[in-house]
Amino acid sequence: MTSKRVPALRPSGARLLVRDIVKDKWLYIFVLPGIVWFFIFCYVPMYGVVTAFQDFKISKGIWGSRWVGFDNFIRFFTSISFGRIMTNTLSISLLNLAICFPAPIIMALLVNELRNKSFKRTVQTISYMPFFMSWTVVAAIWFELLSVDRGGTVNMLLMNLGLIKEPIFFFGASKYFYSIIVLSNLWKGVGFGMIIYLAAIAAVNTELYEAAAIDGCGRLRQVWHIILPAIKPTILVLFILTVPGILNAGFEQIYAMQNNMVKDVSLVIDTYVLEIGIRNARYGLAASIGLFKSLVGLIMLLTTNFIIKKFGEDGII
């Protein structure tokens, strides 16, 4: 008489989770403060989204304010400032995406080719130091560089080269505002982005370079056929995470650098929300604009991830 073997019962998902937590308890304890912070400041406030559909009054609170449905959204989409706000926001965001996103990749490839280690470390340190400055400090530095006074380095240089006869008030001319925003953002962030790509380049197997050199590949072909394919997953992940911020032109930067003389090109969604939400106390309208931004970001994230996966690459979802 043959005995039947009873299949072993697989532990349930809850038991597997408990077992993993017990096994890696110190890792979970390490990330616990971040999880708590994220829950308190990102998930708990989400109940306030209902104010986007209300004529919210502080005195009445969330549950006592009048319900207006989609009136706040309609008011924003039909306002006379909507076209200008969207144009400024998209222009700055697309310029940042086109210039500031590939710049750290190019910088990392160039720095990786440096053979003098001391000089290489010096370049890395100098390039990512601006990242740790606040936008208030960065704005003050750029105000000094572009000043019309005798201390304005850029104006003095242009005048000494004979390119201009009189100093230019860069921060008072609308035609220069986009360039100032993009260049200052590039100056502040290119170094830190470069560090991420240098870390990805450092993980490339050095035997691939040796094999390519034996086959007659120069440095340029090694960069094209070895380094870029190796760091492509990192590039794609960062690209997927960057595109959803298409309506985020950078509140801190623009708020620190704007003035009334360039209000026509500096009014973006974030500064508009501050103006109507805090200064004019139209909290429901401000909340509806924030919700609109979040929905657009979610759609862009899912769309970008879907397109990249359609081309056979790994997404983040």
- Do residues 58 and 48 touch, judged by C-beta distance below 8 A? no
Q: Is the pLDDT of residue 2 over 80?
A: no
What's the pLDDT tens digit per position in 152-163? Answer: 888 888 888 888
Question: Given pLDDT bands bounded at 50, 70 and 90, which one contains residue 4?
Answer: low
- Domains defined for the chain, CATH in brackets: 60-310 (1.10.3720.10)
- Do residues 222 and 209 touch, judged by C-beta distance below 8 A? yes
Whether the model clears a pTM of 0.75, i.e. scores above it, the answer is: yes
Of the segments 3-17, 53-67, 89-103, which one has the largest average pLDDT value? 89-103
**In this predicted structure, which of 92-96, 103-107, 196-200, 310-314 has the lowest mean pLDDT?**
310-314
Quick one: average pLDDT of 303-308? 90
Cα–Cα distance, 193 to 128 (Å, whole number): 8
What's the pLDDT tens digit per position in 160-200? Answer: 888 888 888 899 889 999 999 999 999 999 999 999 999 99
Nearest to 259 by CA among 161, 142, 152, 158: 142
Furthest C-alpha separation in the chain: 107
What's the pLDDT tens digit per position in 80-92? Answer: 999 999 999 999 9
- Both tokens of 179, joined, read 């360039």
| Residues 6 or more apart in contact with residue 313 via CB below 8 angstroms | 232, 233, 236
Nearest to 271 by CA among 136, 73, 135, 88: 88
What's the pLDDT tens digit per position in 35-44? Answer: 999 999 988 8
